[in-house]
Structure 1
Amino acid sequence: MIKSVPTTPYLDQKPGTSGLRKKVPVFQQPNYAENFIQSIFDSLEGYQGKCLVIGGDGRYYNREVIQKAVKMAAANGFGKVMVGKGGILSTPAASHIIRKYKAFGGIILSASHNPGGPTEDFGIKYNINNGGPAPEKITDAIYARSKTIDSYKIADFADVNLDRIGKDELPGGTILSVIDPVEDYATLMEELFDFGAIRNLISLGFRIAFDGMSAVTGPYAKEIFENRLGAPSGSVRNFMPLPDFGGHHPDPNPVHCRELFDEMMGGDDAPDFGAASDGDGDRNLIIGRGIFVTPSDSLAILAANANLAPGYSGGLAGIARSMPTSGAADRVAEKRGIGMYETPTGWKFFGNLLDAGMATICGEESSGTGSSHVREKDGLWAVLLWLNILAVRGESVADIVTQHWQTYGRNYYSRHDYEGLDTDAANGLVDNLRGQLPTLPGKSFGSLKVEKADDFAYHDPIDKSVSEHQGVRVLFEGGSRVVFRLSGTGTSGATLRVYIERYEPDSTRHNIETQEALADLIAAAESIASIRERTGRDAPTVIT
């Protein structure tokens, strides 16, 4: 039986860069999740009888919303629903499943790297049939519909069994397929990378430490690193997904992976290679013995060495990066004579480039890296490509990074996050910056002289769409820059991100401490934006 349930709109269901994210109690309001899911379906055409993929990162409220989504998909006419066992699907695995099985699209339940729990974060996003996040024309339509919705459709049957792999016909004829969430993804990784070479490296005593952060990549990492590649039991830690991520913040950076970071910096007894991934499996942390690899450097190094992996032996069509990401990858593209594309933040902007065959590898400074194998960033993919490179080159992480800097120069880079700001204060700060843009060029801040200042706008070379107001850029003579941007991935207050970058071609100056190397740019950022005065904050919440 299909029920049409009357409802009233919520006016706050505007998706951000990665879907709708709110606190769990917000999603638990009457019909809140149902309204948004129905708004997704009402914004789509041609899905009758088609397949919908549903999965999530296992965070608190994941199972409950999956049950709602399955029943609503059946009521709205989907012919088949594929769900990961236990409701688990990492974001890159969901993208792969959509693509492999030619699904119409997918609903992914996650708030990515944000905390989980009864009072923490939850999220819903829709991915289209290429496996990537819905473009703005769809998310805009979803938001518009959410403001006028007056009813939703839901099938009236008992909750489905999410813990038994297999197929069942639901009342009304929709087929429910509960699948192994790991198998298809792990097989894809074996096709892309030289597992034999990595197995050999590990058999020779190369030690891996991977932190699953009690999040979704734990089962994937356990299967791939320990079962398929032969790493000793215990190499993958915190591998069981927990609704609250064990009370931790599942963001793979040196702050929230402090135990792993300290272990990797512990001298000659440290493992050879450390890595982690986030809540939904699309971000990564790379640490060698004694060296943290910044996400921007990692993107550039992976692009420069991708041909060492079987899946990329034919070379790259091009590289794409988000605008705030450092220009390190640009120098690789220039030297290789391939395309380089600068997009706004948000993986959805890479989709057109990947689909058109213009880019092969993409990356963001927020620890997201991926390639044309799926249409999402992919944490384990990046870890495996690093391992493939290490196995072929037979050098340490530190040696590979140092040689890369010697070849291409070093981009000193840091991101300063000011989290939980008063929204009005944060918006006022950015408005003030935009007001300064016409007068900034030619001004000096200490020894730094502004060459150009703008509010970044992206003109998509494929569909010709334009995305404006994507971040305020202040570019200095000599190639240094500061970028100011409000993040769209938080759930409470506003987060101001300040990106600071200096290019240093001189190899004798490649070992300066990062914050020291950027000190004059950090001071210039404060002078330009008046962060302390406008936010009341004396220091960033997080520095990466």
Structure 2
Amino acid sequence: MHPRAGQRARPEDLVDVDALIRSYSERRPDPADPAQRVSFGTSGHRGSSFDGAFNEDHIAAITQAIVEYRATQGVTGAILIGRDTHALSEPAWRTTLEVLAGNGVDALVDSRDAFTPTPAVSHAILKLNRQAPGRTDGIVITPSHNPPRDGGFKYNPPSGGPAGSDATSAIAKRANELLANGLSGVRRIPFERAVAAAGRYDFLGEYVDDLPSILDLDAVRRGKVKIGADPLGGASVGYWGEIADRHGLDLTVVNTTVDPRWAFMPLDTDGKIRMDCSSPAAMANLIEIMRGPATYDIATGNDADADRHGIVTADSGLMNPNHYLAVAVDYLFRRREQWGAKVAVGKTLVSSSMIDRVAADLGRGLLETPVGFKYFVPGLLDGSIGFGGEESAGASFLREDGSVWTTDKDGILLALLAAEIMGTSGKSPSEHYAALAAKHGAPAYARLDAPATREQKARLGALSPKDVAADVLAGEPITQVLTRAPGNDEPIGGLKVVTQNAWFAARPSGTEDVYKIYAESFLGEDHLRQVQDEARGVVSEALQG
């Protein structure tokens, strides 16, 4: 824990925005350096212009690669462009439009010339494709909750959700070829002509006006729920006030500041500025507001592109994301009667087993997938899963009638659901979780990092169950060793070891020389620490084996 974690940033903590943007246009990445090549993780290509990892050449090459890829897939309609409030998002947006227009591809940008959250882009893709199936896709320029020095770039195909690995691998391969060839083959025109050629789309109006199809906003009004919403300086900053006005909610936007340095943010646990709405340190401002006089019943936060949610209640402070996901599942499947009895619950395999117990209590099937929201896309599209959620505070669910809402994470939606829960029950989501814990047990959950070389990380990602020799974990017999997700048989890029009351999962980091250990125990904090300690040994032995 950094000594100033949770304290407001100082001048020396802030990024030099002018220098960052200069680096974007002036620095040329070295295609021979793996750290400066295009690489799509679970949430797109990310990096900083200071490091030669997110520069104009990258964005021109990626956009050209997307143009070529979508042509091979028969996607011939407009491509929707969203962006968040990071400093690098604006210049990347300009480059993107120049390349799209240079290739004769129609682009749709926000009609207000404003920031556009990820869920609004997913919502728009699906709506437009209902009118002309398979013609529309999207790009969202965002590094999510990453520090202000970073930029990010995501591609959403006509399914509306994050692109699958087949698409991202093809796009990254072609983009790196273009980089290596000095951008020969990239077609672009000047920005003034490109932006003039772009069409306009009312992302905000289409999204906000459609909210009654998925939420019981009447219950929020009847319950007189007072909401405090903090966009954390992100792309949802223009949405929350409109939500309040158009739907008559008692909702206050507690912070309307947009500052690409994020000077108003408290430091995260490692001393960096990070707009992580699931981190108590990063959410210190909102937590402090809720500690004062009872101004709000519910307070919510979003990250920079609003695909994540943070829920703060007066009785418990910032909720653990796993706790809120369990509450959301329990509430929705008891209230959404039109969904049907066969609709299942979707979760990542590193999310809390409390969700497993809630799903079993509801009599619902459970789709457990690898990390990555893309795995929930098919089930949300066809209505076979009613809710898909990740442990990192990202989720979406179906409309009241059982049809798809978004196939990407929607932090605005999950924040408003907390108000609906309070409006219908008179109890906060944290009170609901206390009732679930009393019924199913109270798990202890944590994530930590352990050092690993590049070779060890590659070995970890390729393990099979037979590589694990242990048959006992923290005093309990091991019941499962998984290297493929039980919900869809996709490789998990690591392993998960399960007992009756505990589990751990180990996955290599995509950006650092560490592997991540997720662990949970229903037998208390001491047992959790024992699970964590033995997990290191199990992984070490497997890597040597």
TM range (shorter): 0.7 to 0.9
Q: 2:240 aligned to 221, 227, 246, which one?
A: 221
Secondary structure at the counterpart of residue 301 of structure 2: strand
Give the percent of matched residue pairs that are identical in Structure 1 and Structure 2: 23
More helix by share: 2
Aligned to 1:456: 484
The offset of 1:249, in angstroms, is 1.1
The offset of 1:281, in angstroms, is 0.5
Write the mapping of 1:97-112 to structure 2, written as runs, cut at 5 A: 97-102=124-129, 104-112=136-144
Aligned to 2:303: 278
Q: 2:470 aligned to 441, 459, 471, which one?
A: 441
**Match for 1:144: what amino acid?**
K
The offset of 1:57, in angstroms, is 1.1
**Match for 1:482: what amino acid?**
F
**Match for 2:146: what amino acid?**
N
* Structure 2 CA distance for partners of 1:495 and 1:367, relative to 1, 3 Å: farther
Whole-Å separation in 1 of the counterparts to 2:501 and 2:436: 19
Does residue 250 in structure 1 map to residue 275 in structure 2? yes
The offset of 1:112, in angstroms, is 0.9
Asked if the contact 1:80–1:177 (Cα under 8 Å) also holds between the matched residues in 2, the reply is: yes
Per-residue Cα deviation, 1:219-245 (whole angstroms, up to 9, x for no partner): 22232246634325xx32233433233
Q: 1:418 aligned to 431, 449, 456, which one?
A: 449
The offset of 1:362, in angstroms, is 0.6
Q: 2:78 aligned to 51, 55, 58, which one?
A: 51
Whole-Å separation in 2 of the counterparts to 1:400 and 1:453: 32
Q: 1:124 aligned to 135, 147, 153, which one?
A: 153
Write the mapping of 1:402-417 to structure 2, written as runs, cut at 5 A: 402-407=434-439, 409-417=440-448
The offset of 1:293, in angstroms, is 2.9
**Match for 1:156: what amino acid?**
I
Q: 2:457 aligned to 414, 417, 427, which one?
A: 427
Aligned to 1:537: none
Write the mapping of 1:379-398 to structure 2, written as runs, cut at 5 A: 379-398=411-430
Whole-Å separation in 1 of the counterparts to 2:531 and 2:315: 26
* Structure 2 CA distance for partners of 1:85 and 1:517, relative to 1, 3 Å: farther
The offset of 1:77, in angstroms, is 2.7
Per-residue Cα deviation, 1:416-465 (whole angstroms, up to 9, x for no partner): 2439x67638728947x9599634332454x34444434334673xxxxx
The offset of 1:160, in angstroms, is 6.3
Q: 2:147 aligned to 90, 109, 115, which one?
A: 115
The offset of 1:403, in angstroms, is 2.0
Whole-Å separation in 2 of the counterparts to 1:457 and 1:403: 29
Whole-Å separation in 1 of the counterparts to 2:282 and 2:410: 19
The offset of 1:328, in angstroms, is 1.9
Q: 2:410 aligned to 372, 375, 378, which one?
A: 378
**Match for 1:242: what amino acid?**
D
Secondary structure at the counterpart of residue 148 of structure 1: helix
**Match for 1:157: what amino acid?**
P
Aligned to 1:538: none
Write the mapping of 1:515-534 to structure 2, written as runs, cut at 5 A: 515-516=525-526, 518-529=528-539
Asked if the contact 1:58–1:87 (Cα under 8 Å) also holds between the matched residues in 2, the reply is: no
Asked if the contact 1:308–1:388 (Cα under 8 Å) also holds between the matched residues in 2, the reply is: no
Structure 1 range deviating more: 223-232 or 94-103: 223-232
Whole-Å separation in 2 of the counterparts to 1:380 and 1:422: 36
Whole-Å separation in 1 of the counterparts to 2:465 and 2:333: 44
Asked if the contact 1:192–1:312 (Cα under 8 Å) also holds between the matched residues in 2, the reply is: no
Asked if the contact 2:145–2:304 (Cα under 8 Å) also holds between the matched residues in 1, the reply is: yes
Asked if the contact 2:324–2:429 (Cα under 8 Å) also holds between the matched residues in 1, the reply is: no
Aligned to 1:75: 102
Q: TM-score if structure 2 supplies the norm length?
A: 0.79
Whole-Å separation in 2 of the counterparts to 1:13 and 1:249: 23
The offset of 1:494, in angstroms, is 4.5
Does residue 497 in structure 1 map to residue 516 in structure 2? yes
The offset of 1:284, in angstroms, is 0.9
Whole-Å separation in 2 of the counterparts to 1:452 and 1:307: 28
* Structure 2 CA distance for partners of 1:144 and 1:422, relative to 1, 3 Å: same
**Match for 1:136: what amino acid?**
S
Aligned to 1:540: none
Write the mapping of 1:123-202 to structure 2, written as runs, cut at 5 A: 123-149=152-178, 150=181, 151-159=184-192, 170=197, 176-202=198-224
Secondary structure at the counterpart of residue 86 of structure 1: coil
Aligned to 2:3: none
Does residue 95 in structure 1 map to residue 122 in structure 2? yes
Secondary structure at the counterpart of residue 152 of structure 2: strand
* Structure 2 CA distance for partners of 1:499 and 1:17, relative to 1, 3 Å: same
Whole-Å separation in 1 of the counterparts to 2:54 and 2:333: 47
* Structure 2 CA distance for partners of 1:271 and 1:310, relative to 1, 3 Å: same
Secondary structure at the counterpart of residue 151 of structure 2: strand
Instruction: Give the alignment's Cα RMSD to 1 decimal.
Output: 3.3
Secondary structure at the counterpart of residue 192 of structure 2: coil
Whole-Å separation in 2 of the counterparts to 1:302 and 1:422: 36
Per-residue Cα deviation, 1:91-133 (whole angstroms, up to 9, x for no partner): 11110111112252111111111112xxx21111110112111
Whole-Å separation in 2 of the counterparts to 1:76 and 1:143: 19
Whole-Å separation in 2 of the counterparts to 1:56 and 1:294: 28
Structure 1 range deviating more: 24-33 or 94-103: 24-33
Whole-Å separation in 1 of the counterparts to 2:368 and 2:96: 35
Does residue 15 in structure 1 map to residue 19 in structure 2? no
Does residue 367 in structure 1 map to residue 396 in structure 2? no
Whole-Å separation in 1 of the counterparts to 2:253 and 2:38: 37
The offset of 1:75, in angstroms, is 2.1
Whole-Å separation in 1 of the counterparts to 2:288 and 2:528: 24
Q: TM-score if structure 1 supplies the norm length?
A: 0.79
**Match for 1:73: what amino acid?**
L
The offset of 1:257, in angstroms, is 0.7
Aligned to 1:470: 493
Secondary structure at the counterpart of residue 190 of structure 2: coil
Whole-Å separation in 2 of the counterparts to 1:236 and 1:267: 17
The offset of 1:273, in angstroms, is 1.8
Structure 1 range deviating more: 8-17 or 522-531: 522-531
Asked if the contact 1:362–1:370 (Cα under 8 Å) also holds between the matched residues in 2, the reply is: yes
Whole-Å separation in 1 of the counterparts to 2:142 and 2:421: 31
Structure 1: give runs of 5+ residues left out of the alignment. 1-6, 163-167, 171-175, 461-465, 505-513, 535-544
**Match for 1:424: what amino acid?**
R
The offset of 1:486, in angstroms, is 2.7
Whole-Å separation in 1 of the counterparts to 2:434 and 2:60: 52
Whole-Å separation in 2 of the counterparts to 1:418 and 1:425: 17
The offset of 1:275, in angstroms, is 1.8
**Match for 2:437: what amino acid?**
W
Per-residue Cα deviation, 1:303-346 (whole angstroms, up to 9, x for no partner): 22115767967677111001101122222322333321010111
More strand by share: 1
Aligned to 1:510: none
